[in-house]
Structure 1
Amino acid sequence: MVTLDVWVGHDLVGVLGHDPKANQFSFDYAAGWRNAAGRFPLSPQLPLQRPAGETAEQHSAQVRQFFENLLPEGEALDHAAQSAGTTRSNLVGLLIALGKETAGALRVTLTDDTAAAPAAAGADQLREITPAQLSERIRERGNLPFSVWDGKVRLSIAGYQDKIAVYEREGRWYLVEGGRLASTEIVKPVPVRPQLASLPANEHMCMQLARRVGLEVAPTRLVHVPEPVLLVRRFDRVEAPDGVRRLHIVDGCQALGLSVAMKYERAYGDGAEVAHLREGVSFPKLFSLVDQSPLPAVDRLGLLRWAIFQVLIGNTDAHGKNVSFFCDERGLRLAPAYDLVCMEALDVGFGGAYAMAYGDAFSEHELSPYEWGHFAYQCKLPFRLVANELDTLAGKVLAVMDALVADSLQQDVPAAVAQRFKEVVLGICDRQRVHTKQISRAKRADYE
């Protein structure tokens, strides 16, 4: 049995175990964590006390799915595995290599590794990354993975895009190791694929638009080194006089107990033979999580606005790992929005189907007033509320777009990128806004 200790700050949360012969995982909360005031489970699917009747196989599946969702995806996962000398399917090996700073509050160390335990951590080690070094590494990605710096994997954040996490102090960026500090910014360079060259500017404009129309979003900045780089402020980190405090979050897959492979509602693909298999994350499933919020009305409205905004910006890749919740003793609270992208404006020839359906609509041309009403019915939302929020958000987008474009041009967003973004988003807003009166007149009987 191989065991890993899981920490929040200096507190031992529990022990993750793996039996290699049975290939089964277990997670046992530490007595000090389970019994102390203000403690909380890592996710709704990993309660402080195991459910009665839960089998070892069921428990193992939930544990594996929770911790696998902490890892990067795609090539980033391949690079991490290669650098660590393990395989992409070896969860324990990857957590040992990447677990020092995961998304949220968790820190994973090998049991009895006194050098890595938080209580024994010495002075923080800061390794500065200058803009020139960052530019050089962006250009060298054909030979050296962007996530590997100084022979170490510096990526422990889920997702496909190239990114690293840095600590920012007085406008300078550092790779950080130690128990007191942690990264505060996510650095996302321009992708390698030429067709995605506008992605940093596109995402920045989406995030800024969301902020201007009233959504709570992670702060972003667009810088040039001279390559465009998007900096995203981490909402799971809070700077304090004694260091950086980490906040525990779970994404939609973790909160629902689903693997990363189920982040799309049509997890098995969009082909005609499998399109009816909708076992992955969906809007009704996400809205069911709001019942665990101490402020359900606030979070239900926030999640509704998040869902509508994805349509308005043409973000067809808004999947279950792109929505997160703060998780503590009070329950789940909706976290700020992130990874907002206008896929249609990228013109890359993919992304036509929504990651999650609105009713039964998986594309904008299918998104009729009936399907908006179906979405409201499935998610237990008032029809008039959905109609009002769609009308209000679309109106706000129309009102702020010109100022957003002007500000984006001042930040060296190419004029063609900004103009294409404006055309796509305003077109969607105009088309969807006309549905609001019909949506508000829908009745539950229409869907029962």
Structure 2
Amino acid sequence: MNKLTISYDKQTVGFLSFNSDDETFSFEYSKTWIDEGFELSPILKFNTNIPSKSIKNFLENLLPEGKGQEILSNFHNISKNNIFALIELIGKETTGALTFSLNDEEIKTSFRELPKKELAQRIKDRKNTPIEIWDKKPRLSLAGVQDKLPILIIDDKFGFGEGKLASTHILKFEKEDENILLNKFLSLNLASKAGLEIPKIKLIKIEDEEVLLIQRFDRELKVNKEVKRKHIIDACQALDLSVLHKYERAFGKNLEDYREGVSFKKLFSLIHKCSSPILTKKSLITWICTNLCLGNSDAHGKNISFFISKDKMTLAPFYDILNINIYKGKYDTDFAMGIDDIFSYDELSFYDIIEFCKELNINLKGFVKEFSQVAKNISTSLDDDIFINFVETNKMIFYKNYKKDIKTRIEKLLKILK
């Protein structure tokens, strides 16, 4: 039996075990944590026999996806299916506050500075030298598919922290010539103008390499230069679903009737678990309207998270908002979650909006009013070119196409709603 200690801010939360004979997981909260702590998710309840599948789903959603997971797997000769070993590998710094360790060993606090020149060279060479590995250690400990690197910033110095230190920011990198970084920067800022809370973001240059710098909302650098970690879970973890089910149609168009993944109906079922259901519902409706306007059809179950603490569950800031529709023909632009039974802009009608609102118990007039306000805020921001100073000359064509794409979509959606 393999066993890991799960900790939160120096407190023992519980113990994770894996039986390799029958490949089952078990998890047991510590008595002290039951008395003083909180349940890690709506699924991982105190004083219950938690199913192995639920534990596996929770852990799997902490792991990187795609290329990131493959690099970690290959570099350390660990099967991608060996969730327990991968969690132990990245367990000192997973998303949120939890740490996973063998024998509850204490890690010495250290800061490994990343000189800008070294970092810029590694960004430039990342196709040949995996940026996820530094000093023969895994540095990618975040869920998701896109190329990224978690870093710690202290006194304007970039680096990696261990022990009482941990990453406070995320660097995201450009993908070929797609202007993904500018797209994400514009989309997140427009989402903020629409009324959503977002993380603090900046487009910066490291030497001559452009990156998107995102401040982590699950971390806080204290004045004594320790990092406070905050526990968060994504919607898949909250709903007891695997990474495979982050899309409502988990197996895509080929099995379009299989809709067992994260849906708006399932997402809205979490509202009553939140500390402020009314505010949570309002924010989710604004998020839906914003995604429709911006063309963020890839808004899936791992792109929405919740803070969890004692007797409290609240929405985290919204992240990974991107106009994916502008890449139509290169990427799938179907909705991650259906509006009623519709998964594309081309098929969307007012009837679908009516049925969608009925199913989710949303006031139809209220939805139309919210959409109109979101559309107005986004359109005004684009008309006024309030982000034009962040657009370099060689990216002006993309910016104009981005504006046109969103404005055209908003006009079509407003016609449907009227």
Tell me which interval the TM-score lies in, with the shorter structure as reference length: over 0.9
Q: Which residue of 2 aligns with 1:91?
A: 83
Give the letter for the 1:49 counterpart.
N
Partners of 2:39 and 2:15 lie apart in 1 by 13
Shift of 1:49: 2.0
- Quote the Cα distance in structure 1 between the aligned partners of 2:210 and 2:357: 39
| Aligned equivalent of 1:157 | 142
Q: 2:349 aligns with which of 344, 363, 368?
A: 368
Paired residue for 2:30? 30
The 5 Å alignment of 1:285-324 reads: 285-324=266-305
CA–CA distance in structure 2, aligned partners of residues 425 and 398 of structure 1 = 8
State the aligned residue count.
415
Q: CA deviation at 1:151?
A: 1.1
1:107 to 2:92 alignment? no
Runs of 4+ in 1 over 3 A off after TM superposition: none
Match of 2:110 in 1: 125
Mapped partners of 2:223, 2:155: distance in 1: 15
**How far apart in 1 are the matches of 2:126 and 2:286?**
37
Aligned mate of 2:338, from 354, 357, 371: 357
Shift of 1:113: 4.7
Moved more, 3-12 or 415-424: 415-424
**What is the deviation of 1:429?**
1.1
Superposed CA deviations along residues 128-183 of structure 1, whole A, max 9, x for unmatched, are: 223322221122123211111111110110011111111112322111111x2211
Pick closer, same or farther for the CA change 1:360–1:290 going to 2, 3 Å: same
| CA distance in 2: counterparts of 1:287 and 1:332, whole angstroms | 14
Rounded Cα–Cα distance in structure 1 between residues aligned with 2:360 and 2:386: 32
Asked if the contact 2:111–2:165 (Cα under 8 Å) also holds between the matched residues in 1, the reply is: no
Q: Secondary structure at the match of 1:322?
A: coil
Q: What TM-score, normalized to structure 2?
A: 0.96
- 8 A Cα contact 2:25 2:56, kept in partner: yes
**Distance (whole Å) between structure 2 residues aligned to residue 244 and residue 165 of structure 1:** 14
- Partner Cα separation in structure 2 for residue 245 and residue 90 of structure 1: 29
1:40-79 correspondence to structure 2 within 5 Å? 40-50=38-48, 59-79=51-71
Decide whether the 8 Å contact of 1:293 with 1:330 is kept in 2: no
Q: Is the 8 A contact 1:303 1:334 kept in 2?
A: no
Q: How does 1:336-351 map to 2 (within 5 A)?
A: 336-346=317-327, 349-351=330-332
Separation in structure 2 between the aligned mates of residue 383 and residue 49 of structure 1, nearest angstrom: 42
Name the counterpart of 2:10.
Answer: 10
1:238 aligns with 2:220: yes
Q: C-alpha displacement at 1:413, in angstroms?
A: 7.4
Aligned counterparts of 2:386 and 2:245: Cα–Cα separation in 1: 35
1:263 maps to amino acid: K
Q: Which residue of 2 aligns with 1:444?
A: none
- Measure the CA separation in 1 of the matches of 2:190 and 2:389: 11
Structure 1 position 370, deviation (Å): 1.2
Question: Quick one: which of 200, 208, 211 aligns to 1:219?
Answer: 200
Distance 1:381 1:331 in 2: 24
Amino acid at match of 1:83: F
Secondary structure of 2:372's match? Answer: helix
* Cα pair 1:290 1:332 within 8 Å, conserved: no
| Cα distance between partner residues in 1 of 2:93 and 2:263 | 29
Deviation at 1:195, TM superposition (A): 4.8
Mapped contact 1:308–1:390 kept (Cα < 8 A): yes
Query: Higher mean Cα deviation, 280-289 or 420-429?
Result: 420-429
Q: Give the alignment partner of residue 265 of structure 1, picking from 205, 229, 248.
A: 248
Partner of 1:428: 409
Superposed CA deviations along residues 2-30 of structure 1, whole A, max 9, x for unmatched, are: 00011111011010000000110001001
Q: Confirm or deny that 1:255 pairs with 2:268.
A: no
In 2, Cα distance between equivalents of 1:309 and 1:186 = 24
- Which stretch has the larger CA shift, 205-214 or 2-11? 205-214
Structure 2 Cα separation of the partners of residues 190 and 131 of structure 1: 17
Q: Distance in 2 between matches of 1:176 and 1:256?
A: 32
Q: Give the Cα separation in 2 of the matches to 1:239 and 1:391.
A: 39
Q: Which residue of 1 aligns with 2:400?
A: 419
- 1:138-153 correspondence runs (5 A): 138-153=123-138
Task: Give the CA deviation at 1:421.
Answer: 1.2
Q: Distance in 2 between matches of 1:20 and 1:138?
A: 38
Contact 1:199–1:346 under 8 Å retained in 2: no
* Cα distance in 1, alignment partners of residues 10 and 74 from structure 2: 30
Are residue 185 (structure 1) and residue 169 (structure 2) matched? yes
Q: Is the 2:296–2:323 Cα contact (8 Å) retained in structure 1? A: yes
Structure 2: unaligned runs, 5 residues or longer: none
- Distance in 1 between the 2:133 and 2:219 partners? 22
Amino acid at match of 2:209: E
The alpha-carbon distance between structure 1 residues 144 and 215, as it changes in their structure 2 partners (threshold 3 A), is same
In structure 2, what is the equivalent of residue 82 of structure 1?
74
**CA contact 1:176–1:183 (8 Å) conserved in 2:** yes
Identical counterparts, % of pairs = 34
Indicate how the Cα distance of structure 1 residues 22 and 157 shifts in structure 2: closer, same or farther if over 3 A, else same: same
1:301-325 CA-to-partner distances (Å, cap 9, x unmatched) read 0011111111111112110000101
TM (norm. structure 1) is: 0.89
Q: Counterparts of 1:361 and 1:130 in 2: how far apart (Å)?
A: 49
Q: Is residue 207 of structure 2 the alignment partner of residue 207 of structure 1?
A: no
Shift of 1:85: 2.5
Secondary structure class of the residue paired with 1:136: helix
What do the CA deviations read for 1:232-253 (whole angstroms, capped 9, x no partner)? 1101112223421111111010
Distance, in Å, in 1 between the alignment partners of 2:283 and 2:8 is 27
Please report how far the alpha carbon of residue 92 of structure 1 lies from its aligned counterpart in structure 2 after TM superposition. Answer: 1.3
